Amino acid sequence: MLVAPSILSADFGHLARDVAAICSGGCDLVHVDVMDGHFVPNLTIGPVVVEAVAKAATKPLDIHLMVENNSFFVDLFAPLKPGYISFHIEEEKHPHRLIQKIRSLGIRPAITLNPHTPPEAIEFLIEDLEMVLLMSVNPGFGGQKFIPSVLERAVRLKDLILKRNPECLIEVDGGVSDKNIHMLHNAGVDVVVAGSYVYGHSDGVAEAIASLKRV
């Protein structure tokens, strides 16, 4: 299991320290939640802060866009050379075009699906994607309760991926902890995002990450 801690639960007064801690603590990706106050009822960080995150990180950034104007935000973040950029299918009229644009910028393209969106909605995009992110909470905030129907969506998505592009990864985001990591693993999930679990763990971030990787 690959682990992408969400810095949304970090201490923003000590952001560089908290990003360095997950990287030296064994994470695989640094998950960055970008919210615009329109697509979701919360507002987070822009390129100035993400640049500071990129400087502190020794692992690739996994930028999760929760915004209305995806193409504009891709242009903003592309110079930081993130490993992945994902955008929400619910907010994009021309997903195929945007995937090609992200790839042409040297970034791995990914698509995110809200809890109500069936995996079949992106069946004919899978061959062009590096990763599909399934939300297991409603996007907007850390610390929410895991929605278990993501497990059935992951199983259905895995079938489509095996048919269309077996290299494509499945990532799950929201409410992930040691309580559901085994179920996620059994459902075929490759990457988990975890914010409050990792940064709130009483034994520290490295042990939290290790506990998710031990599955």
Catalytic residue positions? 33, 173
Should residue 36 be labelled a site residue for Zn ion when binding is judged by CB under 5 A?
no
CB 173 within 8 A of CB 134: yes
Closest to 32 in 3D by CA, of 55, 58, 9: 9
Least Å distance between CB 33 and Zn ion?
Answer: 4
- Compare residues 64 and 101 and give the one whose CB is closer to ligand DX5: 64
Site for ligand DX5, rule CB under 6 A: 6, 8-9, 31, 33, 64, 137, 139-144, 173-176, 193-197
- Compare residues 137 and 161 and give the one whose CB is closer to ligand DX5: 137
CB 126 within 8 A of CB 168: yes
Judged by CB under 5 A, the residue of 18, 28, 33, 92 near Zn ion is 33
- Compare residues 97 and 179 and give the one whose CB is closer to ligand DX5: 179
Should residue 64 be labelled a site residue for Zn ion when binding is judged by CB under 5 A?
yes
Should residue 18 be labelled a site residue for Zn ion when binding is judged by CB under 5 A?
no
Which long-range contacts does 195-198 make (Cβ < 8 Å, 24+ apart)? 195/5, 195/6, 195/7, 195/8, 195/9, 195/31, 195/142, 195/143, 196/9, 196/142, 196/143, 198/3, 198/5, 198/6, 198/9, 198/22, 198/27
Interface residue list for Zn ion (CB under 5 A): 33, 64, 173
